[in-house]
Copies of this chain bind each other. A is one copy, B any other.
Amino acid sequence: MARKTGSHSDITGPLVRKAAQHLFARHGFAAVSMRQIAAQVGVQAGALYLYTPDKQTLLFDLMKTHLEELLAAWADVPRDGSSVERLEAFSRFHIRYHLERPDEVFIAYMELRNLESENFAVIEDLRRSYESELEAILAEGHAAEEFSIPDIRLATMAIIAMLTGVNTWYREGGRLSRDRIEQIYCNMVRRAAGA
């Protein structure tokens, strides 16, 4: 039987994930206790186990969901135009998507070492899938001689690091608008790729 509409579980479950996300991002997975998460939700610690089998799975689900949604969102971006245009589309998408989800992003690459090895493998696979999207663009552009790239794998890693780095310093209401930041970074990425 499907779950009845309006039951409590449809409300508290997401609240637990949201609270855990916020606390994990702020203090780190290992430094946050189940009781702290419960307090943030307004519930006793035992109640959390109605929504997750254990703390580790809570972290894993957060990271897996984030990466799957990231891949799904990128899949929705139209893949037309030249390699240069697609590189620009990727750069803008990456910056925008990541700036809108600082907690998810922070957790997804700060808490990798707290994953059990099976869970780690799943997350690493998803991350590699995303990297491959950029790598494919660079490879095509290189083949079409739109880019000048001595090593495609290195260029992939360099560009992703550069783009993700925005999250470490960006603050709401800062000196530059998001759009201006996207624009400047696109420029640097394009030149780094030799286009």
Contact = CB atoms under 8 A, between A and B. Distances in A.
Of A26, A28, A150, A153, most B-chain CB atoms within 10 Å: A28
Interface stretch (A48-56, A81-89, A185-193): A185-193
Nearest to A175: B153
A62 interface: no
Interface string A170-195: 00000110000100110111011010
Interface string A24-37: 00111011000000
Looking at chain A, what size class is its interface with the partner chain? 35 or more
A157 B113 CA distance: 25
A165 interface: yes
B150 A184 contact: yes
A38 interface: no
A76 interface: no
State the number of copies, please.
2
B154 A185 contact: yes
Nearest to A161: B165
A119 interface: no
Contact of A158 (B114, B153, B188): B188
Interface of A: 26-28, 30-31, 110, 113-114, 150-151, 153-155, 157-162, 164-166, 168-169, 175-176, 181, 184-185, 187-189, 191-192, 194
28 contacts: A27-B113, A28-B28, A28-B30, A28-B114, A31-B114, A110-B110, A150-B187, A151-B184, A153-B175, A154-B185, A154-B188, A155-B188, A157-B165, A157-B166, A157-B168, A158-B165, A158-B188, A159-B162, A161-B161, A161-B165, A161-B168, A162-B165, A162-B192, A165-B165, A189-B192, A191-B191, A191-B194, A192-B192
